[in-house]
Structure 1
Amino acid sequence: MTTSISDMRELGRRLSNWGRWGAGDERGTTNLITPERVAAAAALIRTGTIFELGIPLDGDGPQPGGNRINPIRLMAENGQEQVLPGGFKWADDYVFMPLQAGSQYDSLSHVHYDDQLYNGHPGTGVTVKGADKCGIHTQAKGIAGRGVLLDVARTRGVEWLEAGTAITPDELDAVVAAQDVEVGPGDIVLIRTGWRAKFLADHDPAGFMAGEPGLSLSCATWLRERDVAVVGSDNWAVEVMPGENPGALFELHMVLIRDMGMTLAELLDFEELSAACAADGLYDFFYAGPPLQFTRGVGSPINPLAIR
């Protein structure tokens, strides 16, 4: 499906959550993760097995340079030249990295258009000082609740989808049916395209970032109809790249983040989790993925966990 800029704006108006949680709201769809839904999700912890969904924060990541680089870690102290009472030695290190260098959340201040952020907050509030509204710190209580893995690649019977492959709402419905799982209000929905598996096989950052399979713009309606709280993927932008409209960039980002107020999780690793879900046929679990409290930050690195 090819869409135009005007179509994207009309879609955004139709799916908008502006004002739904009050005129001053900065959290968007994570408001759907209520205490009752978190408590219910705890019952999905059946064996206590933990799966880490974050990628390693090191120089072997997929960010080839430019605006974003892989993390650079430096030692401040290693203890080797210390002479202290009792033989005590200590080490410290620090990291230089973009907040979106690896597995990450996009905050609701990450993208905007027509000079407005989510809920009508002024886009001019994002300055060299950071975001005065909708920063990642507004999600500081954490993002935790019922997670659902939609394993598109496994359902198709492929290791990974090819770059430029657009996942449609009909395909999401087919995956839901094949997995015998439901998607509902407050869920954290994770889309496996196999793009992480491709990176692990190829170790080609430039190729990984050159394009990707992902959600089509039409999936915004699918997510809104089900009141999904957060959507994440094993690719770097959730949506298909190159995009469906050659005259625009990141249209799904604009609708999900700016209009619907939906936090996105990117560059996740579902390989171990995918195998476990396929083995026992259970695709829902307790998800725990708090962001770091970077005041006024437009994103945050994360190491989310799936607990089954």
Structure 2
Amino acid sequence: MRELGARVRNWGRWGADDERGTTNLITPERVAAAAGLIRTGEIFDLGIPLDADGPQPGGVRMNPIRLMSENGQEQVLPGGFKWADDFVFMPLQAGSQYDSLAHVHYDEKLYNGHPGDEVTIKGAGKCGIHTQGKGIAGRGVLLDIARHRGVDWLEAGSTIGADELDAVAAAQGVDVGPGDILLFRTGWRAKFLTERDPHGFMSGEPGLALSSAQWLRDRDVAVVGSDNWAIEAIPGENPGALFEVHMVLIRDMGMTLAEMLDFEELAEACAADGHYDFFFAGPPLKFTRGVGSPINPLAIR
């Protein structure tokens, strides 16, 4: 992992003080070009519902709890006016979400060499999700791994390597290049919708092989997202380590990750007309010093 991380590392590439990493690759020119991918104006929402029926089984993370603070039932106001308000209690990574570049680190260093102890009980002093506040928007590409394999969903622990990423892209007639937001479908969301088993969803997953980090670096991908909950295969390839793909992508490459997305409707539309690229708009919520953010990204075709 450390040898691979050293090869793909982006530290210093955008300056010694950079906290945004590969989203720097989403240039104004690339955003403008991506706007040309809007053919029909169809909008696909990729976020999962934020409610009690989500995939979080509790413990470290739970599904959102939403409570009403006012419902208007006991209000007596001029003209018959009534109003309602509510609030929510939830982990920032309870559903569809971004991992910020402060989410994981190793050897006491965050992305770009920022000190690991910058993450305190007050939050992320460096690389917090608020640094992505300009938004993450541009060319999105969907690689439908599950459809390519001819299965409803991949098995937990199943890895997706560089050769398969190339094969799926070629079969779909799409390229993956600099500044792209790469989305790959494993069918893991379909599994949850079929089984409604949070423990089964979270106990393992298919995902990227560690070697795929070089593939992403070679193509200068800006963001990677999936319908699973951790991007990488669980259990991982090395029984003696945890979340090695996370550590290389986030800490070494400076890549923002999008997790627990819903590609089911989008995948059907892409398969129907053969267009697997689109305009992607997925800004995070600007939680100052947050290490993650809920999102509801849009794919506009």
Match runs of 1:83-98 below 5 Å? 83-98=76-91
Asked if 1:216 is matched to 2:209, the reply is yes
For residue 137 of structure 2, what is the aligned residue in structure 1?
Answer: 144
For residue 297 of structure 2, what is the aligned residue in structure 1?
Answer: 304
Alignment partner of 1:31: what SS? Answer: helix
Find the partner of 1:248 among 241, 244, 247.
241
For residue 34 of structure 1, what is the aligned residue in structure 2?
Answer: 27
Structure 1 runs of 4+ with >4 Å offset: none
Q: Which amino acid aligns with 1:37?
A: R
Q: Which amino acid aligns with 1:208?
A: F
Q: TM-score, normalised by structure 1?
A: 0.97
Asked if 1:206 is matched to 2:206, the reply is no
Q: Which amino acid aligns with 2:142?
A: L
The CA distance in 2 between the partners of 1:256 and 1:223, in whole Å, is 9
Q: Which amino acid aligns with 1:155?
A: H
Match runs of 1:150-189 below 5 Å? 150-189=143-182
The CA distance in 1 between the partners of 2:268 and 2:220, in whole Å, is 27
Q: Which amino acid aligns with 2:184?
A: I
Alignment partner of 1:75: what SS? Answer: strand
Aligned-pair identity in percent equals 83
For residue 229 of structure 1, what is the aligned residue in structure 2?
Answer: 222
Q: Which amino acid aligns with 2:292?
A: G
Alignment partner of 1:211: what SS? Answer: coil
The CA distance in 1 between the partners of 2:261 and 2:160, in whole Å, is 18
For residue 19 of structure 1, what is the aligned residue in structure 2?
Answer: 12
The CA distance in 2 between the partners of 1:68 and 1:142, in whole Å, is 25
For residue 253 of structure 2, what is the aligned residue in structure 1?
Answer: 260
Query: Once the 2 structures are TM-superposed, how far is the Cα of residue 237 of structure 1 from its aligned partner?
Result: 0.1
For residue 5 of structure 1, what is the aligned residue in structure 2?
Answer: none
The CA distance in 2 between the partners of 1:143 and 1:171, in whole Å, is 26
Alignment partner of 2:258: what SS? Answer: strand
Query: Once the 2 structures are TM-superposed, how far is the Cα of residue 38 of structure 1 from its aligned partner?
Result: 0.1
Find the partner of 1:120 among 109, 113, 126.
113
- Runs of 5+ in structure 1 lacking a partner? 1-7
For residue 82 of structure 1, what is the aligned residue in structure 2?
Answer: 75
For residue 56 of structure 1, what is the aligned residue in structure 2?
Answer: 49
For residue 106 of structure 1, what is the aligned residue in structure 2?
Answer: 99
Query: Once the 2 structures are TM-superposed, how far is the Cα of residue 218 of structure 1 from its aligned partner?
Result: 0.5
The CA distance in 2 between the partners of 1:174 and 1:81, in whole Å, is 62
For residue 269 of structure 2, what is the aligned residue in structure 1?
Answer: 276
Query: Once the 2 structures are TM-superposed, how far is the Cα of residue 259 of structure 1 from its aligned partner?
Result: 0.2
The CA distance in 1 between the partners of 2:94 and 2:55, in whole Å, is 9
Alignment partner of 2:168: what SS? Answer: helix
- CA-to-aligned-CA distance 1:268-293 (integer Å, 9 cap, x gap): 00000000000000000000000000
Q: TM-score, normalised by structure 2?
A: 1.00
The CA distance in 1 between the partners of 2:156 and 2:9, in whole Å, is 29
- CA-to-aligned-CA distance 1:59-106 (integer Å, 9 cap, x gap): 000000011000000000000010001100000000000000000000
Query: Once the 2 structures are TM-superposed, how far is the Cα of residue 19 of structure 1 from its aligned partner?
Result: 0.1
- CA-to-aligned-CA distance 1:91-133 (integer Å, 9 cap, x gap): 0000000000000000000000010000000000100000000
The CA distance in 1 between the partners of 2:60 and 2:277, in whole Å, is 35
The CA distance in 2 between the partners of 1:59 and 1:215, in whole Å, is 29
Query: Once the 2 structures are TM-superposed, how far is the Cα of residue 167 of structure 1 from its aligned partner?
Result: 0.7
Query: Once the 2 structures are TM-superposed, how far is the Cα of residue 168 of structure 1 from its aligned partner?
Result: 1.0
Q: Which amino acid aligns with 2:5?
A: G
The CA distance in 2 between the partners of 1:212 and 1:113, in whole Å, is 23
Alignment partner of 1:231: what SS? Answer: strand
The CA distance in 1 between the partners of 2:248 and 2:49, in whole Å, is 30
- Runs of 5+ in structure 2 lacking a partner? none
The CA distance in 2 between the partners of 1:25 and 1:233, in whole Å, is 25
For residue 129 of structure 1, what is the aligned residue in structure 2?
Answer: 122
Find the partner of 2:37 among 36, 44, 57.
44
The CA distance in 1 between the partners of 2:161 and 2:110, in whole Å, is 26
The CA distance in 2 between the partners of 1:297 and 1:212, in whole Å, is 26
